[in-house]
Amino acid sequence: MPLSAPNKTSSPAPQSAASAINTSAGALRTISFWFAICALLCLLLVDIDISTTDPWAEMGLMTAGALSPLVWSWPTLLSSLANTFAFALQGVTVAAIVGFALALGYRFTLVRAFCAFIRSIHELFWALLFIQVAGLSSLTGLLAIAIPYAGTLAKIYGELFEEVDPAPSNNLPRGESRPLSEFFYSVLPLAWHSMATYTSYRFECAIRSSAILGFVGLPTLGFHLETALSDGHYSQAAAFFYALLLMIGTLRLWLHKGLLPIYLVAVFYYLPPQATISWQLLVRFVTEDIVPAPLRGQALLSGETINNVAQWINLLWQQQIWPGLLNTVLLGQISLVFTGLLALALLPLNSSLFIQRRWKRGIGDSVLILLRTLPETLLAFIGLLILGPSMLPAILALGIHNGAIIGHLLGRYTEELNLRADASRGVTLYFYEVLPRIYRQFLAFLFYRWEVILRETAILGILGIATLGFYIDSAFETFRFDVALLLILVSAALNISVDQFARYLRQRLQLKTVPESL
């Protein structure tokens, strides 16, 4: 036998330890694999059946309605549009001011924890809480948006301040230190542009949130949308639906920096934040209603009370907390992976590497923008009407909305790639050149979205899907505010844990840690 190696290497097994597989892609592949496996297992555990007898018929009716929008009352339509806009603008304005103040102290753990806490509670849950004391008032709408958005904006502003080029502030003269002045001169100007971009993106989100506040009774577009859809008045629903799309779609045309003061004065004049708060009711709510039932009027440390509380929690855990948590996590995991898959499938729509013609790409990107404009809750509600109650509409809604957001961003990101002149084309280009190059960015986007997806998963419960929101909504309906608060805190804890875990994964996989516009 000749000593030389045989021509055909039958196995990829390397001859020496040095050429063992050691690729950066490996770690990313492993993590993706386990996420997908988890999602598949979850899929076995949840109900994704289509329970309506004839989904096509319902869809036909909806399509017919969508093609024949009908405004039954212009004043109603216009006032609900104005309310939606007013809550969103007021909420984001207050959130930006409070968020900025919080961001100044973002290096303190306590401030960070506080921000994480207030943003981990969904705006609809905040609304349900405030409705108990301030009723369906303009103050409730403002606070429901302002509080969680302040937490989010504080985080983003705080991270932007940390990311700013340190050279300008390092070059300031040493000696007597004026930290706040130095901040305004050497940090804020550098972060300003990103802050403005991000805040305006958040405003678009706030319009969606504001519209959805109608689902719990506030007089925004969502209120009329939900009513019309539930009653099967699809033509009327279509009118409100198009109004929402139109408002978000044309934001860039009329929401100019210079006009902002005018809009602000207008919305505060049109809808001054006020509520008739009965102080008696407020005191009762805080000192009695939200106190766990077995603790009310009892000596705190008696053995019997502790025993009762333990029983109370135990029962709640078995009947509500555990099933709610489980369903939220299962649905969240499936939706996360589905979102990822959709994003990867949709990104070519907004990439000149795959669609060369400008006008064709314009159409592709418009589809993505349209899909991301639709609020998940609304999509899920429509899905429930068509497909019947199961997890399926929720998965589709979360996947479509979030997948379109990430797909749009990834498509734009591919424009920055520097490919060789002799790069391949089509599917091969996608898998060999584009996907490996964008994968880190993709995972970073997806992990950012994880917390958002989970928050939304919980909230979809108010539509009847048995996630935490379902039990929270039921508790509010039966005036068991102590249970509602406990469940809200559980969902907050879940969101914070997932956010921390995603943060850990991003650091471990060396993904980008500052979001662009998520």
Among 68, 287, 424, 500, the residue binding another protein under the rule CB under 8 A is 424
Q: Which is nearer to another protein, 125 or 430 (CB)?
A: 430
Distance between CA atoms of 89 and 92, rounded to whole angstroms?
A: 5
Identify the CA nearest to 394 among candidates 378, 405, 408, 406: 378
Q: Which of 14, 166, 232, 272 is the binder for another protein (CB under 8 A)? A: 14
DSSP code at position 516: S
Q: Which is nearer to another protein, 358 or 420 (CB)?
A: 420
Sole binder of another protein in the list 433, 451, 456, 473 (CB under 8 A): 433
| 505 is an interface residue for another protein by CB under 8 A | no
Examine residue 16 and tell whether it contacts another protein (CB under 8 A).
Answer: yes
> Residue 5 has what DSSP assignment?
P
Among 34, 185, 192, 431, binds another protein (CB under 8 A): 431
- 109's CB contacts (< 8 A; 6+ apart) are none
CB 223 within 8 A of CB 236: no
Q: Which of residues 4, 8, 171, 174 is near another protein by CB under 8 A?
A: 8
Question: Closest separation between CB of residue 443 and another protein, Å?
Answer: 11
What distance lies between CA 4 and its chain's CA centroid? 60
Which of 88, 151, 153, 154 lies closest to 122, judged by CA? 151
How does DSSP classify residue 289? I
Asked if 271 and 83 touch (Cβ cutoff 8 Å), the reply is yes
Q: For the CB of residue 16, give the shortest distance to another protein in the complex, in Å.
A: 7
Q: Considering beta carbons, is residue 1 or 21 the nearer one to another protein?
A: 21
Residue 9 or residue 366: which is nearer to another protein going by CB?
9
* Least gap, CB of 13 to another protein (angstroms): 10
Stretch binding another protein (CB under 8 A), from 13-21, 171-179, 322-330, 489-497: 13-21
Residue position matching structure tokens 């797909």: 407
Question: Cβ closer to another protein: 260 or 417?
Answer: 417
Piece of 19-27, 110-118, 159-167, 175-183 that binds another protein (CB under 8 A):
19-27
User: Which one of 113, 427, 493, 514 is in contact with another protein (CB under 8 A)?
Assistant: 427
* Amino acid at position 204, single letter: E
**Binding piece for another protein, criterion CB under 8 A, among 5-13, 356-364, 368-376, 490-498:** 5-13
Enter the tokens of residue 170.
């390092």
Looking at 2-10, 171-179, 187-195, 443-451, which segment touches another protein (CB under 8 A)? 2-10
Site string for another protein, 361-400 (x = CB under 8 A): ----------------------------------------
Listed residue (253, 260, 257, 225) closest to 239, CA to CA: 225
468 in contact with another protein (CB under 8 A): no
Binding of residue 36 to another protein (CB under 8 A): no
Contact region with another protein (CB under 8 A), list: 113-121, 125-133, 166-174, 437-445: 437-445
Query: For another protein, which stretch binds (CB under 8 A), given 4-12, 88-96, 195-203, 443-451?
Result: 4-12
Q: Count residues contacting another protein (CB under 8 A)?
A: 35
Whichever of 181 and 510 has its CB closer to another protein, that residue is 510
Which lies closer to another protein via its Cβ, residue 16 or residue 53?
A: 16
Count of alpha carbons within 13 angstroms of residue 221, beta-carbon side: 33
3 is a site residue for another protein (CB under 8 A):
no
Q: Which two tokens stand for residue 461?
A: 């419960």
Rounded to 10°, the helix 435-459/24-45 angle is 30
The contacts found for 474-480 with CB under 8 angstroms, 24 or more apart, are 476/128, 476/132, 479/289, 480/293
Give the CA diameter of the chain.
Answer: 98
> Could you tell me the two tokens for 472?
């929270």
- Calpha distance 391→376 (Å, rounded): 13
- Three-class DSSP labels, 162-203: HHCCCHHHHCCCCCCCCHHHHHHHHCHHHHHHHHHHHHHHHH
Q: Tokens 């400008």 appear where?
A: 358
Contacting range for another protein; rule: CB under 8 A; set: 10-18, 313-321, 356-364, 465-473: 10-18
**Under the criterion CB under 8 A, does residue 37 sit at the interface with another protein?**
no
Q: Does 500 bind another protein (CB under 8 A)?
A: no
Whether the CB-CB separation of 350 and 412 falls below 8 Å is answered with yes
Cβ 486 vs Cβ 320: under 8 Å = no
Please, which residue, 72 or 431, has the CB nearer to another protein?
431
CB burial of residue 265 (10 Å; 0-12, 13-18, 19+): exposed
For another protein, the binding residues in 403-422 under the rule CB under 8 A are 418-422
Q: Which of 432, 479, 501, 504 binds another protein (CB under 8 A)?
A: 432
Decide: is 440 part of the binding site for another protein (CB under 8 A). yes
Q: Does the protein bind another protein through residue 439 (CB under 8 A)?
A: yes
* Both tokens assigned to 407: 């797909």
Considering the rule CB under 8 A, would residue 23 count as an interface residue with another protein? Answer: yes
Residue at 428: amino acid letter: T
Q: Is 341 in the site for another protein (CB under 8 A)?
A: no
CB of 430 to another protein, least distance (A): 10
**SS3 assignment for 116-173:** HHHHHCCHHHHHHHHHHHHCCCHHHHHHHHHHHHHHHHHHHHHHHHHHCCCHHHHCCC
**Under the rule (CB under 8 A), what is the footprint of another protein?**
7-12, 14-16, 18-26, 28, 418-424, 427-428, 431-433, 436-437, 439-440
